[in-house]
Structure 1
Amino acid sequence: MAKVKANVAALDPVWSRICDEARQVVRDEPLLGGVMHNNLLHHPTLERALSFRFALKLSSAEISEQILREIAEEAYADEPFLGEAARADLVAVYERDPACHRFLQPIMYFKGYQAVQAYRVGHWLWLKGRRDMASFVQMRVSEMFGVDIHPAARIGKGLMIDHAHSIVIGETAVVGDNVSMLHSVTLGGTGKEDGDRHPKIGDGVLIGAGAKVLGNITVGANSRIAAGSVVLEAVPCCKTVAGVPARIVGEAGCPQPALSMNHQLAD
C-alpha cells in the first residue's frame, strides 16, 4: 500500500507536495500528528482526502460521516472535473492569498476552499437528480462555514474566496474560471422573480468585500467590482465599477484583476 501511495503521489505533484507539507507539520508540531495522518497522510489521493474532510465537516446527528464519505467518493470517481477543480482552486488560493504559504492550508484551515469543494459535491448531486441530498449539503455548508451556495449554481475552476464569511450565490448564478471574491459578497436576485434571476460573472473577475451583484446581469470578463458596491446593471469587460449603485469609474487596470488582487482605485 505504501508503494502504491508513493506511485500515485509521484504522478500528482499537487498531492505529493501536500503530503510533504503534512509530514513537515508532524515533525514541527507532533501534537497535530494524528490530525495530519487522519486527514491527509492516510489517504492515497487528494480526492480521497477531500472526501474524508467533506464527511468529517458536514456529518451530524441527522446523517452519518460514513454515508457522506461514500457520497463524496462516488462523486469524485464519477466526475473527473471535481478533482481538476479542487486542484485549480487550491493553486488559486495559494497564488492569490498572501496569508497562504503552503498547499495544505486551504484543505485544513481555510473555510472558503472547504466550502467550495463541498458545494461542488452538492452540485454533482443536483445534476444527478438527487436534489434533496444536494439541498441537505447546501444547508450543512451554510451551517458549518457561513457560505450559502445553491447547488444549482454553476461555478468554474480556479475560484478563490478570501475569508469567505457571509458569501451568498443564488440558484441561477454562473461564475466563470479564475474568479476571486472577498467576504460578504452576494450574487443574488432583485426580488421575488422566478426563473433565470441571478448574475453571470465572467472569467477573471475580481469582486471586492461586501459587494452585491443583483439580478440576471452580466459582469464581463476581467472586470473589477469595488468593495461595498451594489451592481444592478451589466458591466462591460475589463472595466472597474464602484458605488451604490455601481457606475463605471475606469479601466480594470490590468489584464487579469482576479489574479493580481489589486483593489486600489485610480485617482
Structure 2
Amino acid sequence: MSKVWRTLRQQAEQFAGWNPVMRWNVEYRVLEHDCFEAALAANLGFSLRHLGGDKLQAWLTALLRSESTIALQSEADIGRFVKYDPSCVDHYVALSSCAGFQALQLYRISHELWLNGEHHNALMLKNWAAQAWGIDIHPGAQIGKGVVIRHGHGLVIDDAVVIEDDVTLWNAVSILRSPAGACKSPVLKKGCTVHAHSVLCGGVTVKKDMILAECTLFTESVADVVN
C-alpha cells in the first residue's frame, strides 16, 4: 500500500466521521476500494457519469490497473496539489472534488490510449473532460508528473506541447502549437509557472522555474526562449 493511498484512506475516514450523512459518498469514492487506481477511476467515473454511463468506471479501472505509470504520476500530482493549491486542503478533497486534478488524470488515461493507437477513445475522453471541467488537454501532449492546474477553467493545451515535471498552470491559459509551417509547439521546463490568461503559441520555451505573468508569446523559431 502506497503512502498516498494510506493517507487518502485516513483522510476519508476522518471526513466520514465529521459528516456521517455523506459517509455513503466517502465509501463510494475511497473506502470501498482496494487501491488508489480503483478509487481514482471511481471519482472520475462519478464526475463523468452523465456522459459515460454506469460502465465507464469499470473501463477506467481496467485502464489504470493495466498502466501502472499513470498511478505513479497521479500520486505525484496529488502531493503537489495539496502543497500548492489552497483549495485542496488534503488528498481526499483533491481526489474527490478538484476539477484541475481530475481533468489532469483523465488526460493521463487518454494519453496512454493515444500512445497505444486508440485515438478515437482518447479524443472522446478529451472532449468529455472539456465538457465536464472546461479544461481541454489534447491526448497527444506530453505532460510530466507533479503538475498542478490551479482553478483550470478555460485551460487549453494543444497536441505536441511538452510540459515537464512540477509545472503549475492557472486558468484560461492557452498553450498552442503554431498553425503554420512546421507546426512547432511550446515547451515548458521543469518547475515553471504560467499565470492566468497567458497565451503561448509556436516554438516558445519557458525556462526552468520561471514565473510568467499574464502575457502573449508567439514565435516560429524553436530557438526562442523566454528569458
Please say whether Structure 1 and Structure 2 have the same fold, judged by a TM-score greater than 0.5. Answer: yes
Task: Check whether the contact 1:58–1:137 (CA below 8 A) recurs between aligned residues.
Answer: no
2:171 alignment partner, SS class: coil
Counterpart CA distance in 2 for 1:65 and 1:220 is: 43
Are 2:79 and 1:88 aligned? no
Match of 1:41 in 2: 31
Of 168, 176, 189 in structure 1, the residue corresponding to residue 177 of structure 2 is 189
Q: Does 1:132 align with 2:117?
A: no
Residue among 58, 64, 81 paired with 1:76: 64
Q: Which has the larger radius of gyration?
A: 1
Query: What residue is the counterpart of 2:198 in the other structure?
Result: 211
Q: How far apart are 1:209 and its partner, in Å? A: 1.1
Partner of 2:95: 107
Match in the other structure for 2:164: 176
1 CA distance for matches of 2:97 and 2:45? 16
Tell me the matched-pair count. Answer: 223
- The Cα shift of 1:50 comes to 0.8
Q: Contact 2:160–2:177 (CA<8 Å) still a contact in 1? A: no
Give yes or no for contact 1:126–1:151 (8 Å, CA) kept in 2: yes
What do you get for the CA RMSD once the two structures are aligned? 1.6
Amino acid across the alignment from 1:120: R
Aligned pair 1:167/2:140, yes or no?
no
Higher relative contact order (CA 8 A, sep 6+): 2
Q: More deviation in 120-129 or 73-82?
A: 73-82
The TM-score, its normalising length taken from structure 2, stands at 0.92
Kindly, what percent of the aligned residue pairs are identical? 26
Counterparts in 2 of 1:194 and 1:23: CA distance versus 1, 3 Å: farther
TM-score normalised by structure 1 residue count = 0.79
Q: Which runs of 5+ in 1 are unaligned?
A: 1-10, 240-267
Any idea what the Cα deviations from partners look like across 1:101-156, whole Å, max 9, x if unmatched?
Answer: 21111111110000000111111111111110111101100000000000111100
Q: Which runs of 5+ in 2 are unaligned?
A: none
The Cα of 1:195 is off from its aligned counterpart by: 5.5
TM-fit CA distance, 1:194: 6.2
